[in-house]
Amino acid sequence: MEKLAIGLMSGTSVDGIDAALVRLNGFGVHTKVDLIDFITLPFASNVSEEILQCMNINESNSALICSLNFKLGYLFANAAKKVCEKASIPLSKIDFIASHGQTIYHFPQQEGRFVKSTLQIGEPAVIAYETGVTVISNFRSMDMAAGGEGAPLVPYADFLLYRSNLKGRALQNIGGIGNVTVLPKQGTLDDVVAFDTGPGNMVIDELCKMLKGVPFDQDGKWASQGIVHKEIAESWLEMNFFKTSPPKSTGRELFGSQFTKQLLQNWRHLRDDDLIATATYFTALSIADSYTQFIFPKTYIDEMIIGGGGGYNETLLRMIKELLPNITVLTQEDIGFSSEAKEAVAFAILGNETMNGMPSNVPKATGAGSAVILGSITIPPNDRNIIGGRI
């Protein structure tokens, strides 16, 4: 049965909300998925600052989190409305909205008195009330309850969309954080492996903000003008995270502003462009090192397909190709997909599984003890239900 759905995503880059309007036929691993339309609504600077403040353990407080949860709910609802307007499809035709929300903190493992936990905000009740559409949210918590790390969650969608009987593929996302889904040739869902590779654009973006006053390195321009200090990047790779075997996940807690400020303090003698170039190489090196340590010994890979904002950084792409010369490196656009829309589409797919009562985590990727149904369902009030009684 055909359904129309909206996937909403705001990632670790904290630059805005991605909204993907998709058509879904069926459920399970044979679902057919078509992207109808896509938009990104950038955050106003004050909203980005509030999110980053919530993420900072020294600056956050319960009042700020409480308020921001609802503020983001209204912004996510607006993104859903806007993508429908762009596609000229009324909200009344939408079967469900799948909202990842905004992660503000993530403990993949217990740290002292802090138990394994994760928190995404962007109040689903607000989204449901404002749109009149059923909302699936809080995707990561059930996987964590089952013993997993709650991340990465996109491997199910990656398997559905990109599996091949002819090629071994690695789906490398480069958002704020880098993560990879490994799809062996002729593999099944049980063969899928996925994990976070380390920083994606996060450190590069922070350096650009601090040194250049711009939010990111457009096309890798600054990095292309700098000198890479390989020995410095290699020293950053000595962190325990990079030596830990999958499953593993990370975020701003490890590679956020504090990490970048420390880099600036330790390497302030470097030219600005050199530091940005070295950080860009660090991202490429962390990806290549992850493949060398944890993928190539077990799985033959023919090609890497890069998605996320990093797919538009030409200098980063060149560095990855140079570090991994024996595999073909492509972008989502090279195979007819969208780098920007990939994760929003993935959460629409996960929401479809939830609405059909189907599990969609990949235990080998997250470390969960079992496959589980992800997400919580929020139904709009009857007097706001504009979707034809299909709830």
Q: Are residues 35 and 135 in the same domain?
A: yes
* pLDDT tens figures, 190-237: 999 999 999 999 999 999 999 999 999 999 999 999 999 999 999 999
Annotated binding-site members for ATP: 11-18
Q: Are residues 147 and 169 in the same domain?
A: no
Q: Is position 391 within any domain?
A: no
Residue 371: pLDDT band (50, 70, 90) is: very high
SS3 166: coil
Q: Is position 389 within any domain?
A: no
Q: Is position 379 within any domain?
A: yes
CA 342 to each of CA 60, 199, 201, 317: distance values in angstroms, whole numbers, following the listed order: 30, 18, 16, 18
Q: Are residues 94 and 129 in the same domain?
A: yes
Side chain identity at residue 196, one-letter code: D
The residues pairing with 17 across neighbouring beta strands, listed in sequence order, are 41
Angle of helix 45-55 versus helix 62-87 axis, rounded to 10: 130
Annotated binding-site members: 11-18
Domain boundary among the residues 320, 335, 350 is at 335
Q: What is the mean pLDDT of residues 176-203?
A: 96
Q: What is the pLDDT of residue 385?
A: 43
Q: Is position 75 within any domain?
A: yes
Give dist(CA 79, CA 76) in Å, integer.
5
Q: Is position 192 within any domain?
A: yes
Q: Which residue has the tokens 């991605």?
A: 18
* pLDDT tens figures, 276-328: 999 999 999 999 999 999 999 999 999 999 999 999 999 999 999 999 999 99
Q: Are residues 235 and 300 in the same domain?
A: yes
Q: What is the pLDDT of residue 173?
A: 94
Q: What is the pLDDT of residue 57?
A: 87
Using alpha carbons only, give the angle 27, 33, 39 rounded to the nearest 5 degrees: 125
Q: Are residues 164 and 87 in the same domain?
A: no
Q: What is the pLDDT of residue 378?
A: 96
The rounded mean pLDDT for the chain is 94
Q: What is the pLDDT of residue 1?
A: 82
SS3 96: strand
* pLDDT tens figures, 64-74: 999 999 999 99
Q: Are residues 82 and 165 in the same domain?
A: no
Domain boundary among the residues 298, 315, 335 is at 335
**CA nearest neighbour of 344 among 83, 146, 150:** 83
Q: What is the pLDDT of residue 252?
A: 87
Q: What is the pLDDT of residue 277?
A: 98
User: Residue 234 is encoded by which pair of tokens?
Assistant: 């290699």
Total domains in the chain come to: 2
Q: What CATH number corresponds to the domain at position 203?
A: 3.30.420.40
The residues pairing with 5 across neighbouring beta strands, listed in sequence order, are 22, 96
Percent of the chain surpassing pLDDT 70: 97
Q: Is position 223 within any domain?
A: yes
User: Residue 170 is encoded by which pair of tokens?
Assistant: 């690695």
Q: Are residues 261 and 375 in the same domain?
A: no
* Domain extent for 82: 2-151+341-384
Statement: residue 389 has pLDDT above 50? no
Q: Is position 11 within any domain?
A: yes
Q: What is the pLDDT of residue 11?
A: 87
Q: Are residues 357 and 328 in the same domain?
A: no
Q: Are residues 132 and 69 in the same domain?
A: yes
Q: What is the mean pLDDT of residues 137-145?
A: 97
Q: Are residues 122 and 239 in the same domain?
A: no
Statement: residue 383 has pLDDT above 90? no
Q: Are residues 159 and 304 in the same domain?
A: yes
**pTM of full prediction above 0.75:** yes
Classify strands 16-25 and 2-10 as parallel, antiparallel or unpaired. Answer: antiparallel
SS3 213: coil
Q: What is the pLDDT of residue 193?
A: 94
SS3 74: helix
Percent of the chain surpassing pLDDT 90: 90
Q: Is position 144 within any domain?
A: yes
Q: Are residues 112 and 241 in the same domain?
A: no
Q: What is the mean pLDDT of residues 176-189?
A: 96
Task: Give one DSSP letter per residue of 234-286, joined into a string.
Answer: HHHTTSHHHHSPSS----HHHHSHHHHHHHHHHTTTS-HHHHHHHHHHHHHHH
